[in-house]
């Protein structure tokens, strides 16, 4: 049965030419990822924008009409969106409210599997049966944004977030488009972030692996202490 959900937007990241939007529901404190009925499940611009054409920003409180849960394997957070109803902005949360949503964990799924340019950034698809969720909100004391070419022959710069969490080192690709654009414009280099929240998403299978991605970066220095509702 269709229902209205209000969630704190904690990801509006790149996916298949559209976006992957996700957040934590206000009432249940559970993750929700609205998805389309298309094969890639990406959310189009028309489906995710407010009535004034503006994109949901990180930390917006967004009201949306969802048709039914649509879990796919370990993507248990998926809900089928209603494309006929525009999303509405109901307010914003600040740093203090964001802290209440933190999900401390000992590790980000399974570790020990790396790409050429990353570290602990993927999980073999054969182990996906041990994965029970695909979204985590974590807090890090600091992180380094590394902008470089993933391969010497790559023309486009890749943005990665490097950080310590739960005693392990991670270097994960960033798919937060605002963060990507900001640091790509600054060029090849390493840039420091202070106290931050990161939304970590586990991708669908691609060439035998599930990839850990930084779907959102929220730095404390850039956030209001308290929200507005």
pLDDT greater than 90 at residue 17: no
Same domain assignment for residues 7 and 88: yes
| 155 vs 208: CA distance, rounded Å | 25
Query: Which domain does 21 fall in, by range?
Result: 3-98
pLDDT, greater one: 121 or 150? 121
Cα separation, 190 vs 179, in Å, equals 13
**227 in a domain, yes or no?**
no
Of the residues 37, 64, 98, which one is the last residue of a structural domain? 98
pLDDT of 224 reads: 83
Residue 229 lies in a domain: no
Residue among 53, 95, 74 nearest 226 (CA): 95
Element (H, E) at 183: helix 177-186
**CA–CA distance, 58 with 175 (Å, rounded to integer):** 13
User: What CATH number is given to the structural domain containing 45?
Assistant: 2.40.50.140
Lowest average pLDDT, out of 41-50, 61-70, 176-185, 219-228, goes to: 219-228
88, β-bridge pairs? 63
* Strands in the chain per DSSP E: 3-15, 18-25, 31-35, 60-69, 78-81, 88-92, 122-124, 135-140, 143-148, 158-165, 168-174, 189-193, 196-202, 209-219
Residue count of the chain: 229
Residue 228 lies in a domain: no
Identify any residues that bridge with 63 across adjacent strands, giving them in sequence order. Answer: 6, 88
Backbone torsion region of residue 91, taken as left when φ is above 0, otherwise alpha when ψ lies between -120 and 50, otherwise beta: left
Pair 153, 68 in one domain: no
Confidence of residue 229 (pLDDT cuts 50, 70, 90): low
Tell which of 39, 73, 98 closes a domain.
98
76 band by pLDDT with thresholds 50, 70 and 90? very high
Q: Are 64 and 113 found together in one domain?
A: no
What is the predicted pLDDT for the residue at 154? 73
> Average pLDDT of 130-150?
93
In a shared domain, residues 50 and 110? no
Does residue 75 lie in a domain region? yes
The model carries a pTM of 0.94
Q: Do residue 12 and residue 75 come from a single domain?
A: yes
Asked whether 183 and 145 are in contact (CB, 8 A), the reply is yes
Q: Structurally, how many domains does the chain consist of?
A: 2
Residue 227 above 80 pLDDT? no
Residue with tokens 């890749």: 158
Is residue 117 included in any domain, yes or no? yes
pLDDT value at 129 more than 90: no
Higher-confidence position of 152 and 57: 57
The answer on 183 and 114 residing in a single domain is yes
Q: Where are the alpha helices (DSSP H) in 66-173?
A: 95-99
* Residue finishing a domain among 83, 98, 113: 98
Domain co-membership, 113 together with 19: no
Same domain, 86 and 119: no
User: pLDDT class for 115, splitting at 50, 70, 90?
Assistant: very high
Question: Is the same domain home to 67 and 142?
Answer: no
What confidence score (pLDDT) does residue 139 get? Answer: 97
Residues 109 and 216 in one domain: yes
CA dihedral angle for residue 61, residue 67, residue 70, residue 76, rounded to 10 degrees = 30
> Who contacts 217 (Cβ-Cβ below 8 Å, separation ≥6)?
143, 161, 174, 176, 179, 193, 196, 197, 198
Residue 206 covered by a domain: yes
- Establish if 109 belongs to a structural domain: yes
45's enclosing H/E stretch is helix 45-48
Task: Write the CATH number for 186.
Answer: 2.40.50
Are 124 and 204 part of one and the same domain?
yes
Q: Are residues 45 and 90 located together in one domain of the fold?
A: yes
């Amino acid at each position: 049965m269709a229902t209205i959900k209000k969630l704190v937007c904690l990801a509006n990241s790149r996916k298949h030419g559209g976006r992957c939007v996700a957040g934590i529901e206000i009432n249940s404190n559970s993750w929700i990822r609205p998805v389309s009925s298309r094969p890639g499940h990406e959310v189009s611009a028309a489906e995710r924008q407010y009535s004034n054409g503006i994109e949901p920003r990180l930390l917006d409180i967004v009201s949306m009409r969802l048709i039914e849960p649509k879990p796919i394997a370990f993507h248990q957070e998926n809900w089928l969106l209603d494309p006929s109803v525009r999303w509405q902005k109901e307010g914003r949360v600040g740093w203090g409210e964001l802290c209440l949503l933190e999900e401390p964990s000992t590790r980000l799924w399974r570790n020990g599997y790396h790409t050429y340019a990353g570290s602990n950034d993927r999980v073999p698809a054969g182990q996906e049966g041990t994965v029970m969720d695909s979204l985590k909100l974590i807090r890090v004391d600091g992180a380094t944004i590394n902008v470089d070419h993933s391969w010497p022959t790559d023309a486009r710069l890749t943005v990665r977030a490097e950080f310590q969490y739960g005693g392990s080192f991670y270097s994960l690709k960033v798919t937060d488009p605002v963060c990507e654009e900001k640091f790509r414009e600054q060029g090849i280099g390493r840039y420091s972030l202070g106290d931050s929240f990161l939304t970590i998403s586990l991708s669908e299978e691609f060439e035998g692996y599930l990839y850990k991605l930084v779907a959102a970066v929220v730095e404390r220095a850039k956030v209001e202490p308290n929200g507005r509702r």
